[in-house]
Structure 1
């Protein structure tokens, strides 16, 4: 295997969700300067779900007009669009326009829609593109996808985003000079080490790195030698170099299955029955709903009662856990459907604990004990680690079932994330079911 191809596959995967992940970690620095304030995350959730029109179009094209969509051209367009949109955010994220008599951050919201369309569409284009490489590079791609969340989080950590310092504030009970006073701790956000504009330019540079990596994956001679079975284009195998006639790619035959074994279904190689295929896709939708939408929407509620350090540590370590799970899967690619289900149950159980702590906020279990913060951080680590491993294993399984299976893999990822977001949006943003305590003054029995 080529180290260069591994590096390029990783850098290519990093461009999948780096822009939206980066935007969310920058929220504490953005919201004080825009009229939407902390309602912005609710706006962003709606915009991201609207952007699912991108993967919907791509999936329908693959379903009803296979081979007609130029997959390579789509990737070039969306990665370039992501680079331009993040670059423009650096100039216009503060700009407001009066709409219906009230100021709104129209430029920020519109550019976010384009970023969301880029990232959502990457789920149904980047994954199928990996069919052009050997199966080992799919795990490397997933490592890069995990780094798309970790890298912006680390840069934001260096920037000092959301770092709270509790300072004493003394307020007299009466307006007389000698009156008694009450002593409270007031939360004060520290000034960032560099501006949001610089951060957005960094995200734009990351999208350009992704674009360069994609170019090299297509044209570098060392990468061409890594193609499993000749040349590929548009996710279909080239039958003839002379007349450029394309035919729909056939799935790779599983070497462990005898050639005379009866096909169990018409899906991919026929290795899995339709019931097993349904099982795989249900788990894929479930783990993405939990890890991409349901639990992230309540992360602050589950962690902030234990202190600002617990919140930042859980967010950072969870971001580290994603690529770590992919790295483990590179050496232990266990494809057992039973193990997949068991890990999903374990991850879901830990997710239930995290959700329980969010429901109990601002006074969850062990809130006044150091062990409470340690447990919630550990819970987030194991939650992301187990479910990320499940996602990689499902990707490896579906990769062997052919290009169309990976397209549906990306579509189900988006469907699961959509269902999770739609479920949590009214609970968190409309009905305000969860309560967040003051990081400096919350008093619990």
Structure 2
């Protein structure tokens, strides 16, 4: 029966970021139908950052009102809001209103904010809740969180999103210039949003079962008993005092790792999430598309698959070695440097006309995502041992790191135009 709890934990994890991940992969279908056009991704980035008010308020509540936040009720409310917003998005995403003399997708942006609020706040609510269960189920939760990017991507791939065909366009000189045209989707964006709503409903049902199934209650009782045994250890008096101070001051008790090591863990966690959630997704198209649409789609799909696979591997090969985490984080950062360098060189990156170039880019993306996903899981498992408040701060640092990464890359892409895309139907570099 523990397998059922692993499955429910993964389903809950899928509800953490499935809505926003789904919106990103659906952008090629949304952009032609809204007045914002290709400015919509910039609006989406701003809306997601505004939604960080959710985790900020939750973190402040844990700091100044310890033990008073109805965690379970808040998760129910978040998942219900996600279901409702996805359902309304399916029917009203094309609706516009005139704002400041120009048509704007008011309904779409408001519903985007609701979905972003759900996903951002999940970092500081879902993770602390998982501490009620034994540590192995936290790995399943991270597997589900990884699948929240893979599953919508696969559905969008089956939908036919982003498939480009080159057709005859304007006449140039004695020839005809080819123009890129997106292939018509197999089903509408509204149907895709209904699918996202179904995913959110599945996460809501999973959370309901985690709270009421007898086998889930047994697992929570086991973890509570284990925690009590740790408290009743020979050093229980010192531990109890430290945990009491932790609850009062919004910190977590000292022990292993030390405070310096904990600060290092949080620093690495912020850096890793800045790369994976903020900076690198913004340059993926610039780094991959020069090597062809196949390289771009393979890097996106296989990297999304690498996330849950790395978390699944972490279930069987866990390691709380700080040296290993630092080494893997450094390796992932070096891979990110190569990807960023190719994005800067776009549309003429290195090895452009060689098969090795595309293969190397796909491998770099897969290893980059897989390596840092494993690091995030190991940091989460380490902080889980430090107490409930540690996981709250873990979620808050995830959001802060993602925010800083997005803010760092936004002006380079959208203001200064440091990155340039190539034409998928014309080679812009000499062979």
Shared fold per TM-score greater than 0.5: yes
Aligned equivalent of 1:240:
none
Provide the C-alpha distance between the structure 1 equivalents of 2:71 and 2:52, rounded to a whole number of angstroms.
Answer: 17
Provide the C-alpha distance between the structure 1 equivalents of 2:230 and 2:361, rounded to a whole number of angstroms.
Answer: 44
Q: What SS class does the counterpart of residue 279 from structure 1 fall into?
A: helix
Aligned equivalent of 1:204:
197
8 Å contact from structure 2 (residues 134, 223) kept in 1: no
Aligned equivalent of 1:420:
405
Q: What SS class does the counterpart of residue 16 from structure 1 fall into?
A: helix
Aligned equivalent of 1:309:
294
Provide the C-alpha distance between the structure 2 equivalents of 1:59 and 1:229, rounded to a whole number of angstroms.
Answer: 28
Q: What SS class does the counterpart of residue 15 from structure 1 fall into?
A: helix
The 1:67–1:251 alpha-carbon spacing in structure 2 relative to 1, beyond 3 Å, is: farther
Q: How does 1:60-99 map to 2 (within 5 A)?
A: 60-99=60-99
The 1:39–1:259 alpha-carbon spacing in structure 2 relative to 1, beyond 3 Å, is: same
The 1:331–1:230 alpha-carbon spacing in structure 2 relative to 1, beyond 3 Å, is: closer
Q: 1:280 aligns with which of 260, 265, 271?
A: 265
Aligned equivalent of 1:194:
187
Higher fraction of helix: 2
Provide the C-alpha distance between the structure 2 equivalents of 1:439 and 1:357, rounded to a whole number of angstroms.
Answer: 17
Scaled by the length of structure 2, the TM-score of the pair is 0.93
The 1:261–1:204 alpha-carbon spacing in structure 2 relative to 1, beyond 3 Å, is: same
Q: Give 5+ residue unaligned stretches, structure 2.
A: 247-251
User: Root-mean-square deviation (CA), in Å?
Assistant: 2.1
Provide the C-alpha distance between the structure 1 equivalents of 2:24 and 2:229, rounded to a whole number of angstroms.
Answer: 39
Give 4+ residue runs of structure 1 displaced > 3 Å after superposition.
Answer: 228-231, 249-255, 257-263
1:378 aligns with 2:363: yes
Aligned equivalent of 1:295:
280
Q: What SS class does the counterpart of residue 60 from structure 2 fall into?
A: helix
8 Å contact from structure 1 (residues 251, 402) kept in 2: no
Q: What SS class does the counterpart of residue 405 from structure 2 fall into?
A: helix
Aligned equivalent of 2:385:
400
> Deviation digits for residues 114-154 of structure 1, max 9, x if unmatched?
10000000000000000111110000000000000000000
Provide the C-alpha distance between the structure 1 equivalents of 2:116 and 2:83, rounded to a whole number of angstroms.
Answer: 12
Q: How does 1:8-157 map to 2 (within 5 A)?
A: 8-157=8-157
Provide the C-alpha distance between the structure 1 equivalents of 2:392 and 2:192, rounded to a whole number of angstroms.
Answer: 32
8 Å contact from structure 2 (residues 230, 236) kept in 1: no
The 1:187–1:22 alpha-carbon spacing in structure 2 relative to 1, beyond 3 Å, is: same
Provide the C-alpha distance between the structure 2 equivalents of 1:397 and 1:439, rounded to a whole number of angstroms.
Answer: 45
1:213 aligns with 2:206: yes
> Deviation digits for residues 370-404 of structure 1, max 9, x if unmatched?
11111111100000000000000000001111100
Provide the C-alpha distance between the structure 2 equivalents of 1:140 and 1:228, rounded to a whole number of angstroms.
Answer: 19
8 Å contact from structure 1 (residues 133, 227) kept in 2: yes
Provide the C-alpha distance between the structure 2 equivalents of 1:335 and 1:230, rounded to a whole number of angstroms.
Answer: 20
Aligned equivalent of 2:249:
none
Q: How many residues align?
A: 420
Aligned equivalent of 1:390:
375
Provide the C-alpha distance between the structure 2 equivalents of 1:335 and 1:253, rounded to a whole number of angstroms.
Answer: 19
Scaled by the length of structure 1, the TM-score of the pair is 0.91
The structural deviation recorded for 1:187 is: 1.1
The 1:99–1:252 alpha-carbon spacing in structure 2 relative to 1, beyond 3 Å, is: farther
